[in-house]
Structure 1
């Protein structure tokens, strides 16, 4: 069941949550039963870890109307933001 939840979280675009859930399951198995996760669950964790890029880079702050950027840069920024707001 843990593998299904990990897979669902990952496929829903929540890879960090999937990895956190694996860690919680691994700790619980170790503390309560003194065992490691099954080889299938470990293999799934390794695949998810390999495909997860890690923390994202910060997004630059929005450009204010009074900025010093050139007209083409301002037009591109405006077009980009309007595209996402529509």
Structure 2
């Protein structure tokens, strides 16, 4: 029985020594994501009242912490006069 306990203690010590910080080291700081490129039409024709036009917006992004780290993405558009479209809210 003592041999079993000693072996179990030795294996536990070896497993703990194999861990780089045992979960007590400094936490990695979250890195910001990056937009690599965006493809968006330069203009969209104004639809008749009560109708709408669809426009495809494509983007390539990366995040050093993985895409699962991305919580949300917003797209803002400007009118020709420079003011924000959609009352300044993201589309």
TM-score for both structures, normalised by structure 2: 0.30
Query: Per residue, is there more helix in 1 or in 2?
Result: 1
Give the TM-score normalised by the residue count of structure 1. Answer: 0.31
From the CA coordinates, give the structure whose radius of gyration is larger: 2
